[in-house]
Every structure is written in structure tokens, then in C-alpha cells.
Amino acid sequence: MPQTHYEVLGVAITAAPNDIRKAYQVLARRWHPDLSAHLTDSAQRAAVTERFKLITAAYNTLNHPDQRRKYDATLQPARPTQESYFSPASKPYFDFSSPNGYFGAGPIADYFRGDFYAPPQTDTEREEALRQAQERVDTQSRESREHVERLVRESHERVTRILGDVANRQQGFRSFRDL
């Protein structure tokens, strides 16, 4: 089975460039052909040379970000693009009411029946929707204002208590000095 460049260098696919460089330096020192001059067998020397070529090729590919990105793309299986994954042709129709649909029958299917986001059709419906929206905004605004006021009040009480404690301690130090 052919090795990937990551396996050749002995690093993880998520390895940082510094880790790749360090792994290359260690392996290059170990497998450099000039350092294997003590080998008398030509087959062993050829094996060392081939191993060094693999290490160098792996490092040259993984050292450059663009080449590494292209190489990583060849390692991973093709994933559907967002466009093809979400296109209507790639997904079947969701039939929430049929027992064979994705949600079957029952309360979940009942929930998904109907048009929940239909805009109001008449002027009175629009006015009612606007009034309800304004009420929600007013309620949220009032609740937020009350929350901020409560936080300010609590913070003021804490600061007052801390300042009182500091004043009491200073008074205690003054009376101790007067002794």
C-alpha cells in the first residue's frame, strides 16, 4: 500500500509547518545518501537513496501551503458542494402528512402542516400583526430596562457597602494609632 506524504514524514495530517520541517530534518539526517557511504551493498545504498527521495518529495509538497492544500484535496473523498447538497433536485419532497413521510403521522406531522410564515393578507391582519410586534418590542424593552435598573441598583448597593467597610477600617486604624 503506498504511503501518504504524512506517513513518510511520520506526522499527522493536522501537523503544523514547524512539525513537518522538524520531522524532515530528523529523517534527512538519518537517510541522507552521503551519510550511508559505509554501506557496501549497492542494493542497500539504492534503497537508502530511494527512501531519501521519498522524504524530500514529501517535504517539498507539504512545505508549500498551496501544494499541501492540493495534495490534501486528493486524499479526501469528494464531498458534495453546498449548492448540490441543498439543491431541490438532490432532496426528495418532504411530505409531513403521509405515514411514509420523513416525520410520519402524529403530532410532529401536525406541527409541520400549514404555512406558518404566511404574510398577512388584509389591512386589518397587517395592522394586527404590527400591533402584536410593537407589543413584543415594548415588552422586551421594558424587561431589559428593568433588568438594567436592577443591576445598577445592586452595583450601587455593593459599592456603598464596600466604601462603608473601607471607612470603618480606616477609622479603626486611626483609633489604633491614637493609643
Per-residue confidence (pLDDT) for residue 90, from 0 to 100: 47
Per-residue confidence (pLDDT) for residue 47, from 0 to 100: 87
Cβ distance 58 to 9 under 8 Å?
yes
23 inside domain: yes
Please give, one letter per residue, the 3-state secondary structure of 100-165: CCCCCCCHHHHHHCCCCCCCCCCHHHHHHHHHHHHHHHHHHHHHHHHHHHHHHHHHHHHHHHHHHH
Per-residue confidence (pLDDT) for residue 93, from 0 to 100: 47
43 inside domain: yes
108 inside domain: no
95 inside domain: no
64 inside domain: yes
Per-residue confidence (pLDDT) for residue 167, from 0 to 100: 81
Per-residue pLDDT of the chain (179 residues; tens, 9 = 90+): 468 889 888 998 888 999 999 999 999 888 888 877 777 778 888 888 899 999 999 999 999 999 998 998 888 764 545 444 444 444 444 444 444 444 444 555 555 555 445 555 678 888 888 888 889 888 888 998 999 999 999 999 999 998 888 888 777 666 656 65
The whole-angstrom separation of Cα 15 and Cα 21 is: 10
**Domain of 178, in residue numbers:** 129-179
Cβ distance 15 to 58 under 8 Å?
no
Per-residue confidence (pLDDT) for residue 91, from 0 to 100: 47
The whole-angstrom separation of Cα 101 and Cα 112 is: 12
121 inside domain: no
Cell numbers representing residue 36 in the block = 550511508
Query: How many Cβ atoms are within 10 Å of 138's Cβ, its own excluded?
Result: 10
Domain check: are 71 and 133 in the same one?
A: no
Cβ distance 76 to 6 under 8 Å?
no
CATH number at residue 31: 1.10.287.110
75, 105, 120 — which closes off a domain? Answer: 75
Per-residue confidence (pLDDT) for residue 153, from 0 to 100: 93
**Entry pTM:** 0.42
The whole-angstrom separation of Cα 77 and Cα 57 is: 23
Per-residue confidence (pLDDT) for residue 122, from 0 to 100: 79
Per-residue confidence (pLDDT) for residue 174, from 0 to 100: 65
